[in-house]
A and B are shown apart, each in its own frame.
Chain A
């Protein structure tokens, strides 16, 4: 028997709090830091793959984000949340969607923009309409189109930082190609496919006659150029699965987003830029969905951007509508729009539609039986 003490002689000082009297161990900082941790391997891989420039970009983006958060919270006189992981995540994600080689001032200004305008201008975390990192990306892309043209500058010139895992010395120079999604300009629609395939091989540092399997393998394992954090598809997929397992993301979003994009990029014709400014279209049902899955930012966007809690709907139904919208817009922008990449803009557009989606996807209240 445990030793029992008589009840306190002094009248008990009881506190009257409202039920429930127990709470989940989950919290906003715990969620945010978990997502950061899940993205860390992809960040480390970027440093390994793109070299010290990636490290610099990451450090600048994250550092600026934290500093901006701290300064604005002091200015707004609200409790400081700069260590709750959300500013860190915004900085990290902003770095992930930009090329590792971007100039230092783009990192700083973009990251400050993400926190100040993307988040605090709306009232802070939870009140922002758009994903702050994507808003910042859209902003810097508009402000410095040349400095940030994705894939234009390959960050590992020469052989000075030879990766230990793969010997890429001979290839690193070759990978100065446009990103795997860049639309080549061709003389006729018939030549387009070959041009795209050639592009893919250059983007992955492979010789022109390398088999397709090798190309996709290198895309999946991040051995390509592109934005800092988007290249290593396999890490993003595993990380996303982990977050789903933890209950931090709803599986419907990445699944529906990705499947919609893949189906449409396979089914729909793709616009081809022909020499002399004319356009042509590839035939229906002839797309290459794998290139669209692994070649751009779809995995990063679907698992880590579209799933942002703040800027996505709250019901399962709403999330499915939202994800379909993201997928359709991504496919349309990539296939017939003016940009090779559409993930960022499609998510921003769908973020805008969230209040509307939420309004029309309210669950049917229990007992609200159809009359």
Chain B
């Protein structure tokens, strides 16, 4: 029996649509939009101004604080402006607009090869930080923070997360297929940095072919204490906490007590992040491009693309074309992706997919029939039906007592509900109300 975690569910993954489409370089647009906030934590501050000339890989936003991450120019050209521009979050975010001169001139030092063997742990972490690397699986947590666990939290295992449990997305899969060596080497570097003993490359059994390839890569590169683990395909296996539970049987303490994977001696990094870490440390390449799956029933030519950060979604969709008029564009996968209100929003560090759909779900919710399905699938082992009712009754105190803060917003409950209740939406609403009440309590 392959390992997996309790809860969760099977969703038709639809990966066959793009799985075999090799990564193509997307057109670099004449104008890129680089938001100053593409990560979890404090937004960065612009360090360029209108009319400044910039090179590819040059920092344009400097991190404010430890839990923050710098941003770089993905092209060479001239800064048109620093303004608030549409962002995937729904609002507008301060962004650096750069006119591409088409020359792609690198910033001094970028692309320079270095032997990581000669770097100290601190030097490597600094490179990762300076390269603006954040979790590319979608959480966008600054990678250097994860790589600096406090001394009293020894790490024994590094997990390279190639579960890619979101349906339809295949960019992580393509990365593993096409760049297995950098992924493995990146994972190995992470292990060196945190001083862990074992390295696990994790994937799911719907990608069994890639497991073989990774095994071969490990053997070819003679990486010691590294193994490939294949989990039974289930959503949301790619969730950090779920993956750790599935592979190691360890339960990460609740976020209510600030529990983190390092509390159980584990660090999880997405395959894309590992690749980026390798590129940053050994080639001094900052995070200015990533792989994106473009798919959906309204897309004519779905596929996987290497996209410069800051490329407007519209520009990418010009390459793929529409089959029908889209009714919704999502950044991310169908389970957790966020719908955007305009195709002008740029691809950011956390954009793993662009989903273009010809229709959206328009179901009338009805009263809960207490079928228990949501309880069964909830990987956080909550009772989503109660949280949904608590939000409806505005009893946020009850929602809190029922551990609403442990919800990872995976969407399983809403997906499975036969009464079509928008449970996750209600949970987000209740969480926001609680946050507001808490900050009011702090202020008052």
**A-to-B contact residues, CB < 8 Å:** 1-8, 11-24, 26-28, 30-31, 79, 81, 123-127, 250, 309-316, 319, 362-369
Chain B residues bordering chain A, tally (CB within 8 A): 75
Q: Give Cα A118–Cα B394 distance, bound, in whole angstroms.
A: 28
Q: For the complex, give the distance between the alpha carbons of A319 and B375 in Å.
A: 12
Q: Is the Cβ of A20 less than 8 Å from the Cβ of B372?
A: no
With a cutoff of 8 Å between Cβ atoms, the chain A residues found around residue B419 in the complex are 28, 126
**A14, B327: Cβ atoms under 8 Å?**
yes
A27 near B418: Cβ-Cβ < 8 Å = yes
In the complex, what's the smallest C-beta–C-beta distance from A73 to chain B, in angstroms?
A: 12
* Residues in chain B near residue A2, CB distance under 8 A: 300-301, 323
Question: B26 at the A/B interface (Cβ < 8 Å)?
Answer: no
Of chain A, the residue at the smallest CB distance from B406 is A365
User: Can you offer 17 A-B residue contacts whose CB atoms are under 8 A?
Assistant: A4-B301, A7-B321, A8-B325, A12-B343, A14-B339, A20-B334, A20-B335, A22-B415, A28-B418, A309-B370, A310-B370, A315-B375, A362-B383, A363-B383, A366-B254, A367-B255, A369-B254
Q: With A79-B364, A126-B366, A365-B406 as known contacts, state yes or no: A15 contacts B339, CB within 8 Å.
A: yes
Q: Does B252 contact A (CB under 8 A)?
A: yes
> What is the bound-complex CA distance between A354 and B376, given in angstroms?
17
Contact A15–B327 (Cβ < 8 Å)? yes
Query: Are B300 and A126 in contact (CB-based, < 8 A)?
Result: no
Contact B336 A20, beta carbon cutoff 8 Å? yes
Cβ-closest chain A residue relative to B259: A367
Query: Contact flags (1/0) for B359-400 with A, using CB distance below 8 Å?
Result: 011011011111111011001111101000000000000000
Q: A5-B322, A12-B343, A369-B251 are in contact. Are A125 and B259 (CB under 8 A)?
A: no
Check if B106 is an interface residue, CB within 8 A of chain A. Answer: no
**A4 cross-chain contacts in B, Cβ below 8 A:** 300-301, 320-323
Establish whether residues A16 and B339, one from each chain, have CB atoms under 8 Å apart when the complex forms.
yes
Asked if residues A5 and B340 are in contact (CB atoms below 8 Å), the reply is no
Contacts of A27 in B (CB 8 A): 418, 420
- CB pair A8 B411 closer than 8 Å: no
The A-contacting residues of B in range 299-342, CB under 8 angstroms, are 300-301, 314, 317-318, 320-323, 325-330, 332, 334-342
> Whole-angstrom distance between the alpha carbons of A229 and B415 in the complex?
35
Cβ of B416 within 8 Å of any chain A Cβ, yes or no, is yes
Convert B248-262 into 0s and 1s, putting 1 for each residue whose CB lies closer than 8 angstroms to a CB of A.
000111110001000
Write out the residue numbers on chain B whose beta carbons fall within 8 Å of the beta carbon of A125. Answer: 366-367, 369
Q: Are A14 and B372 touching (Cβ within 8 A)?
A: no
How distant is the Cα of A313 from the Cα of B370 in the complex, in angstroms?
A: 8
List chain A residues, Cβ under 8 A from B411.
Answer: 19-20
Contact B406 A21 (CB under 8 A): no
